[in-house]
Structure formats: structure tokens, C-alpha cells
Structure 1
């Protein structure tokens, strides 16, 4: 998808009520239906563009192989109002059954940064581990001000929703940090209980002592885009 252009923000009712039909295969291998939503402070004036939308989309496009072939199917720019953000998150989750929704910006400390509040009212299960990885990467790579993020993340139905930062560099860094586990996570959300980590190390072979090393090996294998093994499914409960 090209540039995420913003002109006068219209009510959500004027947005397409349903995305084109995009049925999932019976055996889900995430051919990701990916959407972004960018809250904006609406003043009634025309804004030329959102600086971080195109960058986030390009990050997904360049990483599509690691996600099983990601496909951006929708973008939207919405006023920073809780009900507006909730409406589109619910529609994309419940009606359009988007696999992954990223919101961009609106996660800081100012009174108008209300994306996390809207997201928390929509999600059914929180995913704090994703936020931890994002925070860790942002503090390491971007700026100490990353600690001021109030991002939320969680699952609604079969959709994963993640609040991303507004800084374009931070968006890129956070996506790179999340990529190793996203495909695995999305398969689990879809109900594939047999889904396992790439090059999964069976529990019987993993002694308690080198547990950290075991995780490190599995994480690196995922990050490098290694092929998943075809042996019996993982019995992890996570």
C-alpha cells in the first residue's frame, strides 16, 4: 500500500464498512492480513501526511517472509477519540477478522494520548510479554524517553492488537524485535495447538540448568527465519 495520506478526517461511518473478502485457508499459515490505525489530533484542517505510517508498512513488507507472507489490507487515520478508535478496532477484529492490527502513536503522557485506553476497552486478553520486548528494544536502540510509553497489547477474538510508538525509528525497531515470535503467536491465536517454535527443542532434551540457553537457541532460530521442523507438535502450554 502506498503513502498513508491524511486529509480531512471523516467519521468512521464514512469508511468502508467491510474490507474485500479475504478468506483464510482451512490450514492456517499466516498470510497476514495486516492493518494500521493512526490516531491524529483533529483540528478540522488538512494534514498532508502521517510520517510513520509508510515506514511501518515498509517494515512489514520487507519482513513478509518471516511472517509467512504479510499483506497490508487496510490503513486508517482516526481522530484521537476513544470511541472512534474502539469502533474501528472492533470492526477490523470482529467483522473483517484482521490477523494483526497495529496502532501508531497516541501512547504518551499528554491528555490527548488515549490509544491505550481505547485498546484496553477492546482487548479480551492482555499480552504483556510483547510490550516488554518493545520497551527493552526501544530503551536500547532509540531513547530513554521510551519509558514514557503507555502502550497496550492484547487479543480480541482471533486478532492481535498492538499499540506501537509514533516515532518512525521506534516503530521499525519494535517490529524487528517482535518478528521472531509473531508468526508463532498468530498461529496460536488461530487455535493451532500443535504450533511450535522454529527448530523447537523438545522438553525431554532440555535440562533445567541451561534453560536460558535453550530459550536463546529457539529465539535465534526464529529470528533467523529458520524452517519449522515437521516432527510431533509441541505440548507447550505457554
Structure 2
């Protein structure tokens, strides 16, 4: 049974932003991109947290299990630095890892910067939630979302999340013909 309430989580993972020493640019970039991509109404659940694995895990669990976010996007903490633990936290709370998302995002980012090979971002599912780790740079967030978002609504359909409709002039979702249906 598909959930009709659309809740989307946005998590910025940054020690400095969580302490107010640095302006969060990633969270607003994710929110703006999704606002352009989706039709209809939805509820945003935004968080700015420190690079602490247990805190990241708890935040992802809260957004998925308590708030019922069908989509949770994270930014930050995906590089090779010692404090970068977002992929580990994501993997720890996911039921399934979806390697194709990470492969496609890195391939897209490599078109712009050779350091994209350092990115360890992943994606996976937790119950009826799809969690996607994105890069920290706002322009890279948009590039990566554009590369993977066509598959996001159908993925969320398959895990019984909310039915997402896209603004086709911005990004067109792909659903197999047998899966097409009228939005609830």
C-alpha cells in the first residue's frame, strides 16, 4: 500500500555549519532543486548536523521511521577525510544499497572535476525511504540529482513510498509502461 503523504528529508552534514560557523549552502540547494523537480505539495524536513556517525544514523532513522520521508537527501561527509562518515552511517541504517545511484553520480561528476573519484557517496533504502548521499558543493548537488532523479520516483514506488510526480520541463521521471498509474 503506497503512502500518499509526501515527506522529504534534507540533511546537511557539516561540523562548521552545525555550529553556525559556516552558512549551509547544500541544504538550500537540495531543497531548491527538489522544489523545481516535483509537482504538487510535499513537506520538507530539514536538518543541519555534525559529522558524527551516531548522529547521522539517528537523524536518518528519525526521518525515515518517524516522519515517513519517502526520499532523504544528504549533503556532506562523503569524501576521504577522517571525519567523513556519511556513507558508513547510511549503510548502517539501510536495508539495501543501490550501487547504481553512486555509480551514475560519480560518472556525472567526473565530467566536471577529476576529484569526483574521491567521492564515496552511496544510496540505499530503509523501509519505504530512499536515502541518497550527495556531494557538498551546491552545483554538484544539482548535477548529481539531474543524473539520478529520473529513476527516483519509480524506485520509491517499488518500496511503497509516496507517489512522486515530476515537473517534466525540469526533470522527467521514468516509469515502465506497466507501472504507470494515475497519482492518488
**Could you tell me the TM-score, scaled by structure 1's length?**
0.65
Q: Secondary structure at the match of 1:74?
A: strand
Aligned to 1:174: 144
Q: 1:178 offset after TM fit, Å? A: 1.3
Q: Secondary structure at the match of 2:83?
A: coil
Aligned to 2:29: 55
Aligned to 1:10: none
Contact 1:28–1:187 at 8 Å: present in 2 too? no
Q: Secondary structure at the match of 1:62?
A: helix
Aligned to 1:64: 38
Q: Secondary structure at the match of 1:113?
A: coil
Q: 1:71 offset after TM fit, Å? A: 2.5
Over residues 206-226 of structure 1, what are the superposed CA-to-partner deviations in whole Å (9 max), with x where a residue is unaligned?
xxxxxxxxxxxxxxxxx6458
Tell me the C-alpha RMSD between the 2 structures. 2.8
Correspondence 1:100-111 to 2 at 5 A: 100-111=71-82
Correspondence 1:1-238 to 2 at 5 A: 28=3, 32-42=6-16, 45-47=19-21, 49-65=23-39, 69=40, 71-140=42-111, 142-190=112-160, 224=172, 229=177
Q: In structure 2, how many angstroms separate the alpha carbons of the residues matched to 1:44 and 1:179?
A: 27
Aligned to 2:168: none
Over residues 12-35 of structure 1, what are the superposed CA-to-partner deviations in whole Å (9 max), with x where a residue is unaligned?
xxxxxxxxxxxxxx6556x64211
Structure 1 segments unaligned to the other structure (5+ residues): 1-25, 196-222
Change (3 A) 1:27 1:75: closer
**Could you tell me the TM-score, scaled by structure 2's length?**
0.83
Q: In structure 1, how many angstroms separate the alpha carbons of the residues matched to 2:174 and 2:77?
A: 35
Q: 1:130 offset after TM fit, Å? A: 1.0
Q: In structure 2, how many angstroms separate the alpha carbons of the residues matched to 1:99 and 1:41?
A: 26
